[in-house]
Structure 1
């Protein structure tokens, strides 16, 4: 990457904050979250509505990197919104890798950027398929994702999960009850048992940070 590209690049950021990773296979990891602005989907239960709309305002990438370096966290989570809508995502990822950061991208799986091809193997990509997108997962995301995280709501069915047998066989599927609601926790546990009877092991993991009163 040319340094001039970084100097000229800007990126639309909703917020940046330290916490723990409260979801998925890396739960409990101390993390610095970079929430990018703008999403191509509109899930009815989205808990970050402020990050949905696309804004014309942005900050210089070099200023964002400078802000990241103020924190001691080794693990950085790029979330949204939808990170793959951000044109400068590959530049951000490359800059963080150069600084020896452990990187995770949380995505709705529908989009891809070719500039991410060489970078993707170095990232923990968490793919969360969505009902509003017909559970579509871009082939490149499917190739590089390290885990599938399904929000268990009224839409999710066992048939949907069985369409991802490759991930089920790798035991990297997480069922996350929507809003930590008891009814969806029960549904997740029932799905877990059904899959176990079929020879597949999945994890049921609620949003742990919410139980701890963290962001």
Structure 2
């Protein structure tokens, strides 16, 4: 199965439960959610005009709208060729769950990788049972209760105190599930950070600060 991929790179995971973990990021093209504060807006549209070859994509040095159809075998070949050592793979976007990720996650696991998906939870999540699922609910979007139930962690973006109302609503729909909740201030906003810290302490949740943006890595 081929997937429209924007970029593949090795770095340190900067968010959520796996913060600090060496990771290989697979960024898929296409997103119907389109958050205002999104820092990967170049992935929103999967236009044929921006399609490039596999050879061109694996040589990309900048983040832009170009993408290529790539399959799991090519991904594994690229990882081996570049001699990347991370064993944690983050499948992100865009919105990766507009695609069926069962085959991709299964093939990566066969080669000893641990997979993580970062999703808004607005689409049905199709992946291996061992895949770590990070759901980041977005206000004014149709976050599926099934996505919250499948999640291993909830990473929730915060700008103001009122943003917490939607999170509480989502959690109330899955009362029998014990959720790992991370609050993440949007765009390093200092007031949002204070709100996150305050509520993490009150609720005994955890803070996610997008470490990669503070230490200036991709």
Structure 1 length normalisation: TM-score?
Answer: 0.82
1:76 aligns with 2:84: no
1:190 aligns with 2:202: no
Quote how far apart the aligned CAs of 1:204 are: 1.6
Cα distance in 2 between the residues matched to 1:104 and 1:157: 25
Quote how far apart the aligned CAs of 1:60 are: 3.3
The one of 142, 148, 164 aligned to 1:158: 164
Quote how far apart the aligned CAs of 1:141 are: 1.7
Cα distance in 1 between the residues matched to 2:39 and 2:212: 13
Cα distance in 2 between the residues matched to 1:189 and 1:172: 16
Listed as ranges, the gaps of 5+ residues in structure 2 are 52-67
Quote how far apart the aligned CAs of 1:68 are: 2.7
1:139 aligns with 2:145: yes
Between the two proteins, the alignment pairs up a number of residues equal to 195
RMSD over equivalenced CA pairs, Å: 2.1
Cα distance in 1 between the residues matched to 2:147 and 2:80: 28
The one of 116, 119, 122 aligned to 1:104: 116
Matched-pair contact (CA < 8 Å) for 1:84–1:111: yes
The one of 48, 52, 57 aligned to 2:44: 52
Matched-pair contact (CA < 8 Å) for 2:28–2:92: yes
Matched-pair contact (CA < 8 Å) for 2:149–2:177: no
Cα distance in 1 between the residues matched to 2:182 and 2:86: 25
Listed as ranges, the gaps of 5+ residues in structure 1 are 1-8
Matched residue SS, 1:151: strand
Using a 3 Å threshold, how does the CA distance of structure 1 residues 149 and 14 change in structure 2: closer, same or farther? same
Matched-pair contact (CA < 8 Å) for 1:39–1:82: yes
In structure 1, what is the equivalent of residue 18 of structure 2?
26
The one of 150, 154, 173 aligned to 1:148: 154
Structure 2 length normalisation: TM-score?
Answer: 0.81
In structure 1, what is the equivalent of residue 56 of structure 2?
none
Quote how far apart the aligned CAs of 1:42 are: 1.1
Matched-pair contact (CA < 8 Å) for 2:161–2:195: no
Deviant stretches of 4+, over 6 Å: none
Cα distance in 1 between the residues matched to 2:130 and 2:191: 37
Cα distance in 2 between the residues matched to 1:18 and 1:94: 20
Cα distance in 1 between the residues matched to 2:70 and 2:214: 35
Quote how far apart the aligned CAs of 1:138 are: 1.9
Quote how far apart the aligned CAs of 1:99 are: 0.8
Quote how far apart the aligned CAs of 1:214 are: 0.5
